[in-house]
Structure 1
Amino acid sequence: MSEGYDLAEARVRFAEIVHDAEQGKPVQITRLGKPVAIVLSLREYQRLASENLSENLGFGAALAEFRQKYQIQALDINPDQVFKQIREGCCGREVIL
């Protein structure tokens, strides 16, 4: 990451910060010494946003994408066998309301 600026200095150097971001150098902005924001180029933002598209998918589509990405079928895991050892087949515990 390139330089960082406190909020007051960032106001004064806004054009310079935007220029650095356009050149591919993310700029950190701090308030009272604590990081609060990062300025980055539109291209980098779009790249990051497209990587997170699976967050916008439904669970089933995200699961299918995960299985394909990590080739779950090649691991030859039988979930019925794995979970059979972990969970008992009884009806569960009694709940008193």
Structure 2
Amino acid sequence: MAEKHSIAEARRHLPRLVREAEHGKTVELTRRGAPVAVLVGHRTFERLSAGRRAFVEAYREFVEAVDLSELAIDPDEVFEGARDATPGRDVRV
């Protein structure tokens, strides 16, 4: 949960609030009790503003980093029972 501070209070305690943000805390700034801005550390900002990678890009990176054969995962065992074996509904064509 973010700490909440009025803008007036934030002005008086800005160095402390910046240190808190640097250490991973989120600081919410309010005006008349309503949230108007959020103070976060640079690392958090970079992570949030970086955008999303495409799935194929993330998967390619994962495959390069992890030797799948060493994991000894049997897909048939993992996904056993995941698919409904009953026939579908009757359809007239």
SS of alignment partner, residue 25 of structure 1: coil
Q: Residue in 2 aligned with 1:6?
A: 6
Q: CA deviation at 1:20?
A: 0.4
The unaligned stretches of length 5 or more in structure 1 are 55-64, 70-97
Task: Please tell me the root mean square deviation across aligned C-alpha atoms, in Å.
Answer: 1.8
Deviations 1:25-54 (A, max 9, x none): 01000001000000000000001111x256
Q: Residue in 1 aligned with 2:22?
A: 22
Higher share in helix: 1
Q: Residue in 2 aligned with 1:49?
A: 49
| 1:1-97 equivalent positions in 2, closer than 5 A | 1-50=1-50, 52=51, 65=54, 68=56
The percentage of counterpart residues that share the same residue type is: 39
- The normalised TM-score by structure 2 is 0.55
The unaligned stretches of length 5 or more in structure 2 are 58-93
Q: Residue in 2 aligned with 1:60?
A: none
Aligned amino acid, residue 7 of structure 2: L
